[in-house]
Amino acid sequence: MAVRPIVIYGDPVLREMGEPVEEINQEVKDLVSDMTDTLRKAKGLGLAASQVGSAKRLFIVDLSAIDIDASLLVFINPEIIETEGAVEMEEGCLSFPDMYFKITRPERVKVRAYDLDGNQFEMEADGMAARAILHEYDHTQGALFIDHLTPLARTLIKGRLKKLAIAS
């Protein structure tokens, strides 16, 4: 379909709570197709609809860049059912170009969502898959990965964030 511009930190859509997807119609399928093209061009691991300017409860994850057996996963109206453990890893976000921070997230996640065919599914994930799912889920809730930083860490990056927001 088409590559869409990725919304950069400072755009208010990134802080919006995603609206539930009421119907999986052609518009939603086109959005997922565009998001897939956008994600692959950006060489990312996941992308939420808000990151391309659409405040919907929808995200995709594609770990094929780091796992040869992985394939694109679509999560429509996702719900986090449970999480377990905690692990700190460096994390980035396509809406924060060239910024990486150590973020603590649950090590495992169980999520329920709908796929593009309207089928509800549940899946459990750990490691990088869990991290990507939780990161993108946050976007559907209007939360950003910097929200997981300590207050001190947020203070230390305030200037970089302000520059990024002004540039967007």
Give the catalytic positions in this structure.
136
Reading the block at residue 45, the tokens are 């691991």
94 touches 47 (CB < 8 A): yes
Helix H or strand E encompassing 108: strand 108-114
CA torsion through residues 151, 128, 76, 124, sign: negative
21 touches 59 (CB < 8 A): no
